[in-house]
Amino acid sequence: MPVKGFAVYFELVLNIATTVSVLMLIALGLAIVFGLMNILNMAHGELVTVGAFTVSLVQVNGGSFWLGVVAAMAVGAALGVLLERGLIRFLYDRPMGVILVTWGVSLIIQQGLLLSFGPSPQIVYTPVEGSIEFFDSAYPRYRLVLIVAAFLTVAVTGLIMARTRFGLDLRTVIQNREVAEILGIDTRRVFMIAFAGSSALAALAGALVAPMTKIVPTMGAEYLAPSFFVVIVGGAGSLAGTVAGSTLIGGLRTVLDYQVPSTLSQALVLIAAVLVVRLRPRGLVPA
Amino acid sequence: MLSVETLNASYGTVPVLEDVSFALEPGEVVALLGRNGVGKTTLLRALMGLIPSREGKVHLDGTSIGSAPAHAIARLGMALVPQGRGILGKLSVADNIRAGTRAAGAREALSIDDAIAPFPMLKEKLAERAVTLSGGQQQQLAIARALVCRPKVMLLDEPSEGVQPNIVTEIGKLIRELSDRTKLAVLLVEQNIGLALATADRCLVMEKGRLVHAGPADEFRNDAVLKRYLAL
């Protein structure tokens, strides 16, 4: 019996870790464009969708899952460059314009995918089959891969921000765009690369969650609101905040899902998020 | 080193600089004097490329800076130490200087140690967030950050603002010494007339967006002249 009880807790911890990982992956790109660059990108969710569709397409055409992941990132980055160069760069000082334009883009992507692929879900085969046994209970191996991949992605992003030449350029531009220009930093180029990078991260998130979710054109939209909660609750502009925010929102959601109906748990998580923002307006880990 | 011919600039339809012409020679320190709001800061910003609507000929070491964006002008060798210093408070002191090396362009940047050599106080603070520095130290950091790329022209906007008097004197000496040693051309906007005259070779006087007078610094040691141009 004690072994069984332990197994239940272990499974709970793994489930929390999975939910947190998914949230973290999706919120990471948003933490950069919204948290750091202050761009309300309503199409962030659709970049996640595009990532998942790309993996599916690569697999259908005989490519491996991991090739699909790489392709998803490339497609995400390319879409990001297109969006930034084509639309967002004209609207940096018009936040309402950014919301409307990116919302429009999100609708175009959704409907475009619907027209091209139809409403039935796409299929992505998991690259890692089978389950792993923990104290008599089985846990899908792929979820462990996802957890590791999520934490690696956050760590690598953190290292790029803290240690690289581009990271310093971005931190400088975010703090003071005019001073960055005076210091010789091409701020337009930095914004473009950052936007492309965060779009690639969104597509990466979509690719990684693809094997365990229903891949339909509207899948990304469902992630948009929770991702914004994560960034706001965690603290806009801080990667540590994204981890903290994902842990709080994802952890609470998973634990509550065990106890109460899903709709109620969603509402309770939202109330918790409101409370956190009331008590810590700058988030759990302010920048 | 820097030649400016009939520079005009405007904010929207309001002209803020009208037919400004002057030149800076290598190793020369020129003070730009004038009452508040006559366009001194605007002139520095226009030279740095921060005011988009500008017309006229500006050449830096023979290269036209035309309508280039600010970062390109910085890479050509123009450094601006802006009013309020423009310190990046959340970055460390070392990262502030490191960010400054982006303006190196074709020149070779100094090492961080060399850049702060004139400011021993900064040496122990390299790892700290720049926001923890005092006003004087922040000004020193802003100057070190501007110098790290060995610029040809340095534009200094009110370096004495919010800085204690003994450091103001030091900064003045340093500017003079740097200019003499490295042939850096300096355009200095300064309300502290003592600092301006102690540092500059020449003075330019600005009124309502125009340069109305130019003369050697010694000319301005006369109260009547100061009164006439600056109402001091």
Q: How far is A232 from chain B (nearest CA, A)?
A: 20
Between these two residues, A103 and B224, which has the higher pLDDT value? A103
Q: Look at residue A62 in the predicted model and tell me its pLDDT.
A: 96
* pLDDT at A3 exceeding the cut of 80: no
Q: Look at residue B232 in the predicted model and tell me its pLDDT.
A: 63
Q: Which of A116, A127, A109 is nearest to A220 (CA)?
A: A109
* pLDDT at A102 exceeding the cut of 80: yes
Strands B185-189 and B153-157: parallel
Q: Which of A195, A273, A286 is nearest to A241 (CA)?
A: A286
**Residues on chain A touching B100 (C-beta within 8 angstroms):** 183-184
Partners of B7 in beta bridges? B20
Helix crossing, A165-175 with B93-100: angle to 10°? 100
Cβ of A176 and B99 within 8 Å?
no
Q: How far is B108 from chain A (nearest CA, A)?
A: 14
Cβ of B71 and A171 within 8 Å?
no
- Return the SS3 of A37: coil
End-to-end CA gap in chain A: 46
Residue of B nearest to A169 (CA): B99
CA distance A192 to A84: 6
Percent over 90 (pLDDT), chain A: 82
Q: Look over chain B and give the mean of its residue pLDDT values, rounded to a whole number.
A: 92
- Report the residue of A168, A171, A183, A186 to disrupt the B interface, i.e. the one with the largest count of B CBs within 10 Å: A183
Q: Look over chain A and give the mean of its residue pLDDT values, rounded to a whole number.
A: 93
Q: Look at residue B155 in the predicted model and tell me its pLDDT.
A: 97
Tell me the CA distances in angstroms from B115 to A194, B112, B141, B158, one per residue in order.
Answer: 30, 5, 9, 21
Name the strands in the sheet holding B153-157, side by side, starting at the edge strand that comes first in the sequence: B78-81, B153-157, B185-189, B29-33, B202-207, B210-216
Extended strands (E) in B51-171: 54-60, 63-64, 78-81, 153-157
Instruction: Give the residue numbers in A contacting B (CB under 8 Å), as ranges.
Output: 168-169, 171-172, 175-176, 178-187, 287
Cβ of B70 and A172 within 8 Å?
no
Between these two residues, A194 and B166, which has the higher pLDDT value? A194
Q: Which residues does A69 contact at the CB level (< 8 Å), separation at least 6?
A: A55, A204, A207, A208
- Return the SS3 of B71: helix
Q: Which residues does B22 contact at the CB level (< 8 Å), separation at least 6?
A: B4, B30, B204, B211, B214
Q: Look at residue A237 in the predicted model and tell me its pLDDT.
A: 79
Cβ of B70 and A181 within 8 Å?
yes
The amino acid occupying position A184 is G
Residue A4: which pLDDT band, with cuts at 50, 70 and 90?
low
Cβ of B103 and A171 within 8 Å?
no
**Residues on chain A touching B72 (C-beta within 8 angstroms):** 186
Upper half-sphere CA count for residue B190 (Cβ side, 13 Å): 26
Q: Look at residue A219 in the predicted model and tell me its pLDDT.
A: 95
Calculate ∠ Cα B97-B101-B103, nearest 5°.
130
Q: Look at residue A6 in the predicted model and tell me its pLDDT.
A: 77
Of B70, B90, B104, the CB nearest to A182: B70
Q: Look at residue B91 in the predicted model and tell me its pLDDT.
A: 94
Q: Look at residue B81 in the predicted model and tell me its pLDDT.
A: 96
Q: Is B106 exposed, middle or buried (0-12, 13-18, 19+ CB in 10 A)?
A: exposed
Q: How far is B103 from chain A (nearest CA, A)?
A: 4
* pLDDT at A140 exceeding the cut of 60: yes
Each residue of A39-98: pLDDT tens digit? 999 999 999 999 999 999 999 999 999 999 999 999 999 999 999 999 999 998 899 999
Q: Look at residue A1 in the predicted model and tell me its pLDDT.
A: 44
Residues of chain B with pLDDT under 50: none
Helices (H), chain A: 2-30, 44-60, 65-86, 95-117, 141-163, 165-175, 177-182, 187-209, 219-234, 239-259, 262-279
- Report the residue of B50, B51, B65, B71 to disrupt the A interface, i.e. the one with the largest count of A CBs within 10 Å: B71
B residues 63-122 lying closer than 8 A (beta carbon) to A: 69-72, 74-75, 79-80, 82, 86, 88-91, 95, 98-100, 102-105
Mean pLDDT of A206-226: 94
CA distance B211 to B200: 17
Residue A164: which pLDDT band, with cuts at 50, 70 and 90?
very high
* pLDDT at A247 exceeding the cut of 70: yes
Cβ of A184 and B104 within 8 Å?
yes
Q: Look at residue B191 in the predicted model and tell me its pLDDT.
A: 87
Q: How far is A231 from chain B (nearest CA, A)?
A: 20
Q: Look at residue A138 in the predicted model and tell me its pLDDT.
A: 84
Of A176, A185, A287, the CB nearest to B71: A185
* pLDDT at A178 exceeding the cut of 70: yes
Structural domain boundaries of chain A?
2-219
Residue of A nearest to B46 (CA): A182
Q: Look at residue A72 in the predicted model and tell me its pLDDT.
A: 98
CA distance B142 to A30: 32
**Residues on chain B touching A168 (C-beta within 8 angstroms):** 91, 95, 98-99
Q: How far is B225 from chain A (nearest CA, A)?
A: 35
Q: How far is B75 from chain A (nearest CA, A)?
A: 6
Q: What is the ipTM of this complex?
A: 0.92
Per-residue tokens: B225: 């002249």
Q: Look at residue B25 in the predicted model and tell me its pLDDT.
A: 96
Each residue of B194-232: pLDDT tens digit? 899 999 999 999 999 999 999 999 888 888 888 888 876
The amino acid occupying position B138 is Q
